[in-house]
């Protein structure tokens, strides 16, 4: 009996898959995209909303629409917020909790100056005092049944910044931490700092998720082999480019090009149908739909994608898409 028990544990270690988390991508992974992806292919443990923020004293209508419970039904969604103070943090949490959510992801990774120069995103990493105030509230809300995670990058200016706030994160009851191992000036380009990620993994006392440049099954297998103790991997652009990637990982087998293209065309048809029903202007509909192809050049080639980008009206666009 005991031998069988250990045999099962070994099988589990060998064949269990890590959870795949769909990264939030402002302008791409809205409620419609998330729902259609989940329905047609899935393979993803959970989807994060692009960050909700305070702007001009309030929250954008677009951000509120994105978390409406009725539009997110059946999809495992984690709303994300970005804040530069305890006040902003409290306001955003209240809105999310009022909408019935019990999980919130805190953005400490956004590298864009529009946010960082106001102390949001990875700008927050240089203010441990504010992080401490926010973590205090996280602890209180956790006691009331709300779960929090943190998504961060190494730092605004230096990769040491994440280490200076790590003790604060370690002493807060978070469900997990997601680390994108780059600093702000790199945005989402250049080398990922795997050594810094490893150091962080050694010191982080929470379940940890790796994020950055995972675009193929080999990439996923390389990271899970190199960091077997992770609790998951988060994919952004890799899933926009290849929506079946998480499903392929779950199945342990690559899809053929034909299968992948079939899925992409089905997803596009559904997105078109849905957006057309809510966006009356053809120009706006076209610019919304066009983004679907932004990361798909590796699958369809430069010529096709260029044609899609250059199509000046819906008719030419529909003729250009695969």
Residues of this chain that interact with ligand FMN (CB under 6 A) are: 23-27, 50-51, 80, 107, 109-110, 151, 180, 188, 211-214, 235-238
Q: How far apart are CA 303 and CA 283, in angstroms?
A: 22
Shorter beta-carbon distance to ligand FMN: residue 88 or 213: 213
Listed in sequence order, the residues at least 6 apart from 268 whose beta carbon sits closer than 8 Å to its beta carbon are: 289, 292, 321
Backbone angles phi, psi at 155, to 5 degrees: 175, 170
Shorter beta-carbon distance to ligand FMN: residue 42 or 109: 109
Shortest distance in whole angstroms from residue 136 CB to ligand FMN: 22
Shorter beta-carbon distance to ligand FMN: residue 147 or 186: 186
Q: How far apart are CA 133 and CA 135, in angstroms?
A: 5
Shortest distance in whole angstroms from residue 1 CB to ligand FMN: 43
Listed in sequence order, the residues at least 6 apart from 163 whose beta carbon sits closer than 8 Å to its beta carbon are: 199, 200, 203
CB-nearest residue to ligand FMN: 236
Shortest distance in whole angstroms from residue 192 CB to ligand FMN: 8
Shorter beta-carbon distance to ligand FMN: residue 123 or 236: 236
Asked if 81 and 149 touch (Cβ cutoff 8 Å), the reply is: no
Shorter beta-carbon distance to ligand FMN: residue 59 or 110: 110
Residues constituting the chain: 322
Shortest distance in whole angstroms from residue 162 CB to ligand FMN: 14
Structure-token match 């050594």, residue found: 195
Shortest distance in whole angstroms from residue 248 CB to ligand FMN: 15
Q: How far apart are CA 59 and CA 255, in angstroms?
A: 41
Q: How far apart are CA 18 and CA 233, in angstroms?
A: 7
Q: How far apart are CA 23 and CA 211, in angstroms?
A: 8
Shorter beta-carbon distance to ligand FMN: residue 276 or 299: 299
Shortest distance in whole angstroms from residue 161 CB to ligand FMN: 16
| SS3 label, residue 22 | strand
């Amino acid at each position: 009996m005991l031998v069988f028990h250990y045999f099962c544990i070994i099988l589990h270690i060998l064949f269990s898959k890590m959870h795949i988390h769909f990264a939030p991508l402002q302008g791409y992974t809205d409620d419609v995209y998330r729902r259609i992806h989940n329905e047609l292919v899935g393979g993803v443990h959970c989807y994060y909303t692009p960050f909700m923020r305070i702007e001009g004293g309030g929250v954008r209508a677009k951000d509120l629409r994105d978390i409406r419970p009725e539009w997110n039904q059946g999809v495992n969604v984690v709303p994300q917020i970005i804040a530069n103070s305890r006040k902003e943090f409290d306001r955003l949490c209240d809105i999310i909790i009022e909408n019935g959510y019990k999980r919130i992801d805190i953005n400490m990774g956004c590298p864009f100056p529009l946010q960082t120069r106001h102390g949001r995103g990875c700008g927050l990493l240089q203010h441990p005092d504010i992080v401490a105030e926010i973590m205090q509230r996280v602890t209180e809300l956790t006691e009331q049944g709300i779960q929090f995670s943190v998504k961060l990058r190494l730092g605004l200016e230096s990769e040491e910044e994440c280490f200076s706030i790590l003790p604060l994160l370690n002493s807060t009851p978070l469900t997990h931490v997601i680390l994108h191992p780059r600093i702000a000036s790199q945005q989402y380009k250049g080398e990922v700092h795997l050594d810094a990620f490893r150091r962080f993994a050694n010191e982080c006392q929470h379940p940890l998720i790796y994020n950055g440049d995972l675009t193929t099954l080999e990439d996923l297998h390389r990271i899970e082999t190199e960091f077997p103790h992770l609790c998951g991997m988060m994919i952004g652009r890799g899933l926009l480019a290849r929506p079946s990637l998480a499903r392929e990982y779950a199945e342990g087998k690559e899809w053929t090009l034909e299968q992948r293209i079939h899925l992409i065309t089905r997803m596009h048809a559904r997105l078109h149908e849905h957006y057309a029903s809510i966006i009356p202007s053809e120009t706006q509909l076209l610019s919304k739909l066009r983004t679907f192809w932004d990361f798909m050049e590796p699958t369809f080639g430069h010529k096709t994608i260029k044609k899609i980008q250059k199509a000046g009206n819906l008719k030419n666009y529909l003729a250009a898409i695969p």
